[in-house]
Amino acid sequence: MYIETRYYDNGKASARAVHVSETISNDYYDQYCDDVGEGTRDNVTSWICNNLININDINELTSQLSAGHTVDITSHC
């Protein structure tokens, strides 16, 4: 599993879990894909701890990413 992050030109940022690393060229955001291995909850939590800051509820963020939701991470970058 990969965590895809998008950093938009307007200052917003989002992340989502994907099963295939795919980089799309776009003029509106920069995109990155990080391999988190098997996609276990521990691997997703580890990615969050290593890449994001100011996290109030790591469990909620881990649950949302693990479930495949796109998450607004603007305040955590």
The residues spanned by each domain of the chain are 2-76
Q: List pLDDT tens digits, range 2-53.
A: 999 999 999 999 999 988 877 777 889 999 999 999 878 899 999 999 999 9
* Token pair of 5 as six digits: 């992050």
Identity at 44, one-letter amino acid code? V
pLDDT at res. 27: 85
End-to-end CA distance of the chain: 21
pLDDT at res. 40: 86
3-state secondary structure of 19: coil
3-state secondary structure of 35: strand
At 57, the pLDDT band (50, 70, 90 cuts) reads: confident
